[in-house]
Every structure is written in structure tokens, then in C-alpha cells.
């Protein structure tokens, strides 16, 4: 099979105007991990069947937990908070998933033998000190490789609850501490910058463990009382807004199109992209809003817009749109005027250095773009911006979002694109190309 796809034409009229996207990745991974700690059979419907979630399933199976997966549902036969039975020198491979590596590590703090966590080339470059630091504070016995994978766990002696301040605004870091706290007797107290709150909502509304959450001005305060066993549960995973965002931006930047995206998780800690695009004049609407186990679910309505406004984005919006900035940069190319974004250092800590890649892709497209201080970026946009160039995207560490944003750029703005690693999107959104073809997109 060839190792690239070619896009030489914009998407024509949509063949349909209503789609859904696959299950939310954050919730799918959290389901697999949390259910493995419950006492009995938990069931998920609409679990995302992607490589990252598969890695989660494989790691949990290796820890001695039975999992049945078919097209309809995923059943996890949890054995309680202390039920893992790893073989000595077990190797767990988190593949490409930072969420999995970091959250899985927190489940190993009370392990009784030597276990190693590793990952692929991209994951091995990512910072693990943000979780090994608090986990060591709990008393976990961990050896890492200068803050990177692989990390090794050994039997730890006395685990104790911690008081910790999380200053990155990272949901992975916050969630790792929260999951570890489940296994430790006593009260863990966490002060953290706001980030996606799926773990809090699942603790409160799904597994019902003792948790207190207080929101104050800049920080959230979370208190967890550990060592309380919990019952198995059922969970129906809603669509992933991060996957929906590729279709939102495709529609917004194309001509004379509209689209409904059904049953998407519109948790406000994830809808930064909608707020930001609406500030740019996108007019995106949520319809049929409802609630499910604390999460907000709804349909999204979006139509193409000819005139969009540039933006000077306040960094307080960054964390709720953290996975969508490449798409937001693309929209900024079509906004009249200069758009400015700041404090985006965390983007360079993702599957690839996404801030650097955002600048690189825009430059390849012929857009004026400048890096500014404090990990910021300025983009000079034009409402009539259209592409004529030939662009090749390669060597991006198979970052799924770089692949998908390049496809959306080609289908909405034109030009001739050769995009390498056509399997990379399968970590988060295996049906991405199929869903585009169903709408009318053509690839070679």
C-alpha cells in the first residue's frame, strides 16, 4: 500500500447533511481503566474502537482483567481496587497515547512486582515527569528515563495521600493524581488549573466515590477520600467533539454547505473550539441539549461562512480547545485581519510539536505567520484566501491531528496535497476518511 494520500480537489456538494462521529477518546480510555477497578462486569456502548483505546484494552488485559469486545459493546470484568495480577517484568505498551501512559501509570502505584510502561517513537519523546513527580510523592516506587518513557514500577512500601498543586492545566496530570488517590487510604487534596473534567464527572456520577470539588477564581480544588471499593457500571459513550471539529471546520471553510453532527459530547470544558469559532463569526449552534451522567450531549449545526473575523484570543480559552488549535489556525487564515494566540507551549508537548507544525503548515500554504513571545503565534488572514500550491506533509511523527487537519485544509481551501502516513488518524478516529468519502470527498 502506498504511504500517502493525494488531494487535488475541494469537496463538492455534500451527499448528506447529517453525520455522527465515533465515541469520545477521553471517555473511552477512562471507561476501560476505571471499570477495571470496579467489582464486577461493567459495560460500555459506543466505545471508540481506535488504536489508542485498543492499547488501553491490551494493557488492562495484561494486568489480568478479562475484557470482551464486539461491535456492539465492551464488557470489562473488574476485580476491585487491588485486583491486578501482573507477571513479574511485565511490559505494558501504551502505543501513541499520552492519556493512556499517564493514567495507566497511576493505576500501578500499588503494584507488587516489576512492571514497565513504554510507548511508540512519539510517546517516548513526551514528558512523564508531570505524573511521576506526584506519583512518587504518594510513595510509588518509580524509575524513569530522565522524565521520559520507559518508566519502571516496583513494589512500593507505604503509600500516603498527598497535597498537590497542578499548574499545567493538564487533565491527564489531574486525572492521574485522582486515579492514584482512589488506591490510597486517606484524603488527597489537589489544587489545579481548570482542564477537561471527565474524571471528576465519572467519580461523582458514575462510580460514586467520595469527592469534593470547589471552583475558585483561577483554580479548582478537588478532595478525594481513597480506598473505597465501587460497583460496576454501564456507560454509553457520546461522540467526540475533537473528531467532530474536523467536520465543523471543513463545513465552515467550504462553500454553500451545512451539516448536523449528532450526539456529540458538548461538555463546556471541551467546547472551546465552538466558543472561539463563534467569536470569529461562525454562528455554530447546539441543538437538542441533554445531560447524561453529568456530561452534556447535543447536536451541532454548522454552515459555511463567507466572512469571518480575526481574533485576539485570551489564553483562558486555551485548555478547553487544547486539541483543536491546528484547526483554529486554519480558520484564522480565512479571517480578515491579524489573529493572535498566546501561551500555547503545551501544544509542543503533544504527539508532535503542534505549535511548530501549525506555523510550518501555514507557511507551506503561503500564509503570513509569525511566532511571538510566550509561545504565541500571529496569523495574517484574508477572507478570499484560496490555495493554488503543491504541498507535501511528512515526517510528522504520525500525529493523527496533523494528518487530519491537512486533509481538511486540502478539501476546503484547495491546492494539491500529498500527505504521508495515511494510517495515522487511526489512533483517534478510524472512520475519518470513510466519513469524508460518504460526504463526497475524493482521495487518491
Coil, strand or helix at 338: strand
- Rounded to the nearest whole angstrom, what is the least distance from the CB of residue 77 to ligand S3P in the complex? 24
Neighbouring CB atoms inside 10 A of 238's CB total 25
- Nearest-angstrom CA–CA distance, 174 and 172: 6
Minimum CB distance to ligand S3P smaller for 11 or for 76: 76
Question: Is the peptide bond prior to 150 cis by the omega test (within 30 degrees of 0)?
Answer: yes
Residue 300 sits at the vertex; the CA angle it makes with 351 and 195, to the nearest 5 degrees, is: 40
- Nearest-angstrom CA–CA distance, 55 and 101: 10
**328, 336 in Cβ contact below 8 A?**
no
> Residue 277: enclosing H or E segment and its boundaries?
helix 272-279
**224, 211 in Cβ contact below 8 A?**
yes
- Rounded to the nearest whole angstrom, what is the least distance from the CB of residue 346 to ligand S3P in the complex? 6
Helix axes 98-107, 51-62, angle to 10 degrees: 20
Minimum CB distance to ligand S3P smaller for 252 or for 344: 344
- Rounded to the nearest whole angstrom, what is the least distance from the CB of residue 393 to ligand S3P in the complex? 20
Q: Which of the following is catalytic: 120, 144, 323, 399? A: 323
- Rounded to the nearest whole angstrom, what is the least distance from the CB of residue 208 to ligand S3P in the complex? 21
- Nearest-angstrom CA–CA distance, 229 and 255: 54
- Nearest-angstrom CA–CA distance, 269 and 205: 17
Give the binding site for ligand S3P (CB under 6 A). Answer: 26, 99, 170-172, 175, 195-196, 322-323, 346
Minimum CB distance to ligand S3P smaller for 84 or for 325: 325
Coil, strand or helix at 368: strand
Minimum CB distance to ligand S3P smaller for 201 or for 365: 201
| 323 catalytic residue (yes or no) | yes
- Rounded to the nearest whole angstrom, what is the least distance from the CB of residue 399 to ligand S3P in the complex? 11
- Rounded to the nearest whole angstrom, what is the least distance from the CB of residue 6 to ligand S3P in the complex? 28
Report residue 72 as a C-alpha cell: 456492539
Minimum CB distance to ligand S3P smaller for 348 or for 416: 348
Minimum CB distance to ligand S3P smaller for 97 or for 310: 97
Name the residue number minimizing CB distance to ligand S3P.
26
Q: By CB neighbour count within 10 A (0-12 exposed, 13-18 middle, 19+ buried), where does 119 fall?
A: buried
Q: How far apart are the first and last CA of the chain?
A: 12
Report residue 98 as a C-alpha cell: 499520552
**220, 231 in Cβ contact below 8 A?**
no
- Rounded to the nearest whole angstrom, what is the least distance from the CB of residue 118 to ligand S3P in the complex? 19
- Nearest-angstrom CA–CA distance, 191 and 322: 20
Phi, psi at 113, each rounded to 5°? -145, -175
Minimum CB distance to ligand S3P smaller for 10 or for 174: 174
Q: By CB neighbour count within 10 A (0-12 exposed, 13-18 middle, 19+ buried), where does 89 fall?
A: exposed
Catalytic (active-site) positions: 323
Amino acid at each position: 500500500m502506498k504511504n500517502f494520500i493525494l488531494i487535488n480537489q475541494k469537496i463538492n456538494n455534500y451527499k448528506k447533511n447529517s453525520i455522527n462521529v465515533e465515541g469520545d477518546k477521553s471517555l473511552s480510555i477512562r471507561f476501560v481503566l476505571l471499570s477495571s477497578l470496579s467489582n464486577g462486569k461493567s459495560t460500555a456502548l459506543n466505545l471508540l474502537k481506535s488504536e489508542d483505546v485498543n492499547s488501553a484494552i491490551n494493557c488492562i488485559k495484561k494486568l489480568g482483567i478479562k475484557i470482551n469486545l464486539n461491535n456492539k459493546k465492551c464488557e470489562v470484568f473488574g476485580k476491585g481496587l487491588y485486583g491486578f495480577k501482573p507477571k513479574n517484568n511485565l511490559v505494558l505498551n501504551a502505543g501513541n497515547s499520552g492519556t493512556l501512559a499517564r493514567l495507566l501509570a497511576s493505576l500501578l502505584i500499588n503494584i507488587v512486582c516489576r512492571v514497565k510502561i513504554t510507548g511508540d517513537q512519539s510517546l517516548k519523546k513526551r514528558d512523564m515527569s508531570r505524573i511521576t513527580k506526584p506519583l512518587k510523592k504518594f510513595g510509588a516506587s518509580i524509575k524513569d528515563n530522565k522524565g521520559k518513557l520507559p518508566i519502571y514500577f516496583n513494589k512500593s512500601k507505604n503509600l500516603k495521600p498527598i497535597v498537590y498543586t497542578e499548574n499545567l492545566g493538564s487533565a491527564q496530570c489531574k486525572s492521574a493524581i485522582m486515579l492514584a488517590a482512589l488506591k490510597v487510604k486517606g484524603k488527597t487534596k489537589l489544587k489545579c488549573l481548570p482542564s477537561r473534567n471527565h474524571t471528576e464527572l465519572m467519580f461523582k456520577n458514575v462510580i460514586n466515590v467520595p469527592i469534593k470539588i470547589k471552583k475558585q477564581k483561577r483554580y479548582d480544588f478537588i478532595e478525594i477520600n481513597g480506598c473505597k471499593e465501587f460497583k460496576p457500571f454501564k456507560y454509553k459513550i457520546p461522540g467526540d467533539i475533537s473528531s467532530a471539529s474536523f467536520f465543523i471546520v471543513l463545513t465552515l471553510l467550504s462553500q454553500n454547505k451545512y451539516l448536523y453532527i449528532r450526539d456529540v459530547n458538548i461538555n463546556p470544558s471541551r467546547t472551546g473550539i465552538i466558543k472561539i469559532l463563534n467569536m470569529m463569526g461562525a454562528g455554530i449552534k447546539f441543538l437538542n441539549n441533554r445531560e447524561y451522567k453529568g456530561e452534556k450531549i447535543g447536536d451541532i449545526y454548522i454552515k459555511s461562512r463567507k466572512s469571518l473575523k480575526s481574533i485576539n484570543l485570551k489564553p483562558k480559552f486555551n485548555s478547553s480547545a487544547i486539541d483543536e488549535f491546528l484547526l483554529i489556525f486554519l480558520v484564522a487564515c480565512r479571517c480578515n485581519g491579524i489573529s493572535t494566540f498566546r501561551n500555547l507551549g503545551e501544544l509542543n508537548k503533544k504527539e508532535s510539536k503542534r505549535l511548530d507544525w501549525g506555523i510550518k503548515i501555514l507557511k507551506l500554504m503561503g500564509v503570513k505567520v509569525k511566532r511571538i513571545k510566550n509561545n504565541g503565534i500571529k496569523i495574517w488572514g484574508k477572507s478570499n484566501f484560496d490555495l493554488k500550491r503543491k504541498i507535501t506533509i511528512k515526517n510528522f511523527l504520525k500525529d493523527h491531528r496533523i494528518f487530519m487537519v491537512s486533509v481538511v485544509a486540502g478539501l476546503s481551501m484547495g491546492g494539491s496535497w500529498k500527505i504521508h502516513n495515511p494510517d495515522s488518524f487511526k489512533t483517534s478516529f478510524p472512520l475519518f476518511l470513510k466519513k469524508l468519502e460518504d460526504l463526497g470527498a475524493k482521495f487518491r
